Structure 1
Amino acid sequence: MSHGLLVPLEYHTPGLEDFKFHGTFGVTWLDKPFWQVIISAVLVIGLWLWLSHSMKVVPGKRQVFAEYCYDFIRNTLARDIIGSGFRKWLPYLVALFSFILVNNWFGEFFIFMFPTFSHVGFVYGMALVSWVVYIAAGIRAHGPLKFFKNSILPPDVPPALWILIIPLEFLSNFITRPVTLALRLFVNMFAGHLIIMIFLVGGGYLLTYSGNPMYNVTGGLSIIFSFALFGLELFVGFLQAYVFTILSAQYVSTSIASEH
């Protein structure tokens, strides 16, 4: 009983349990986000194969769209951040941006209606890949000893400060970077999906509440507003894919910089 009104027992407040799914084939981890990752990988590979098929000197609409997407990633996420050596890292950045974008937009598309990266484990997996690429880029450019030495001990640091600088640089470059990279994406996807669920579930409940027209009007407005949130989340999904990719490119840039 709440304020003299009987609240139906079937009402369910959105929460953490809505981000948990049953496994398939008797395997717990073969859940909905796992299959979304597989589907998104197939979609991204298939999309770029289709977009790059039968390229012509005089491009058609498909080729124009493909070149626009490719140039956007090439110019803003690779060349402008990494510099002259960007070409070898471009395929990774194109795949990374496309993969994250598709998984983020799953939250707004019919059937899926769930952003894959609102599960923190998958986000840590993506951050780990970028972290490995960051280290591999530095080792490839400077060799392992020089890369790790300069990563934890910047040039011209007085020996008296080594005991302070070395732990801080190690923490910053090898621990904080992948953690913050992952949490930034996870928090935005998790919070956005949870807010949309609150407006939809709460709005649907109020809209069908009997005996209170004010509740019904409020519920209708809540559902209408949720559609605006869907549009906002499409932008947030794009923005977070952009931020994740540009930070990954920035990490590669710092690892291959001349001071290393």
Structure 2
Amino acid sequence: MISSLPTWLSQAPEPPAPGFKAPSGEDFNIPPMFEGVPVLEYVDKPVIQLIFSVVLILAFFAIATRSAQLLPGRTQWLAEKFHVMVRDSIARDNIGPKFRKYVPYLVALFAFLVVNNLFGIIPLIQFPTLSHPGMAYALAILTWLIYNIVGIRKQGFGGYVQLMVWPPGVPGWVRIILTPIEFLSNFILRPVTLAFRLFGNMFAGHLLLLVFIFGAEYMLLIADSITLKVLSPFAAIMAIVFTGFEAFVQLIQAYIFTILTASYIGASLADEH
């Protein structure tokens, strides 16, 4: 009978502690917030973040310019410095003499990218909106439409296509090789690489942060090993270090996306490519 068995045989062994589950792409699959509700069933956390970022940016510039003074306060000074930085170091340097009409879009684009990227390290949000490829590609397509429309309006359709795929001053036999390369580069690969660079950096950076954050949690609270518990503070410190590094990458990627957009517009407006 079971009651007569020794204690060490009658008691079932305790299940081992669950192993560490490494973060993966599944951690980026956020379920809808209003599942089953028509139209709203497509609204999830990244969509809410996009709306929230627009509200934040509009509110910031509205407050900064509501009562502009000759001697600016902190908010007005910050908004002016942001505007001047985009105008001088991005628009003017990359577009040329006709840069002013594109400054508002570039300012809005840069602010939008900065806010949505930094959502990845802001407590209670902690998710970079543009780590979803669809949103990065939507921005890249918008850039593609703008620089192509600008080029066609400036050069005419035929002249613009010739400018982008038929390099001037090149021997005819070389053009046979360069023309398909230029076509792929200017009309197809530009938006793909523009979006992939942004999405890839946001995705990889957030995944790396999750590794250290979840790793520190597992080592301290779940793992049975004393060694892992002792080492858990080091994983937490690395999470903090990489949070600072990720903030730097997020700002740099916003700058790169904006400056490439300006350079594409400038190339479309140029007389020679």
TM range, normalised to the smaller chain? over 0.9
Aligned counterparts of 2:90 and 2:231: Cα–Cα separation in 1: 43
Aligned partner of 2:72 among 59, 78, 102: 59
Query: Which structure 1 residue ranges, 5 or more long, are not aligned?
Result: none
- Equivalent residue, structure 1, for 2:108: 95
How far 1:70 moved relative to its partner? Answer: 1.1
- Equivalent residue, structure 1, for 2:5: none
Aligned partner of 2:34 among 10, 25, 30: 25
Moved more, 47-56 or 9-18: 9-18
Does the 8 Å CA contact 2:91/2:106 hold for their aligned counterparts?
A: yes
**Structure 1 segments (4+ residues) deviating >6 Å:** none
Does the 8 Å CA contact 2:167/2:175 hold for their aligned counterparts?
A: no
How far 1:165 moved relative to its partner? Answer: 2.3
TM-score scaled by length of structure 1: 0.93
Aligned counterparts of 1:10 and 1:162: Cα–Cα separation in 2: 59
CA displacement, residues 132-178 of structure 1 (integer Å, 9 cap, x when unaligned)? 11101211222222111211111133333443222111101011111
- Residue 131 of structure 2 is aligned to residue 118 of structure 1: yes
Larger radius of gyration: 2
Aligned counterparts of 1:7 and 1:129: Cα–Cα separation in 2: 52
Query: Which structure 2 residue ranges, 5 or more long, are not aligned?
Result: 1-13
- Residue 209 of structure 2 is aligned to residue 196 of structure 1: yes
- Residue 28 of structure 2 is aligned to residue 15 of structure 1: no
Q: How high is the sequence identity, in percent, across the aligned residues?
A: 42
CA displacement, residues 178-227 of structure 1 (integer Å, 9 cap, x when unaligned)? 11111111111001000000001011101124543210121121012201
RMSD (Å) for aligned C-alpha atoms = 1.8
Does the 8 Å CA contact 1:152/1:169 hold for their aligned counterparts?
A: yes
CA displacement, residues 84-128 of structure 1 (integer Å, 9 cap, x when unaligned)? 111000011001100011000000112211001111110000101
- Equivalent residue, structure 2, for 1:49: 62
Does the 8 Å CA contact 1:107/1:193 hold for their aligned counterparts?
A: yes
SS at match of 1:58: coil
- Equivalent residue, structure 2, for 1:217: 230
Residues 171 and 40 of structure 1: CA distance in aligned 2, closer, same or farther (over 3 Å): same
Does the 8 Å CA contact 1:204/1:220 hold for their aligned counterparts?
A: no
CA displacement, residues 38-68 of structure 1 (integer Å, 9 cap, x when unaligned)? 1111211221122222111122222211111
Aligned counterparts of 1:39 and 1:62: Cα–Cα separation in 2: 19
TM-score scaled by length of structure 2: 0.88
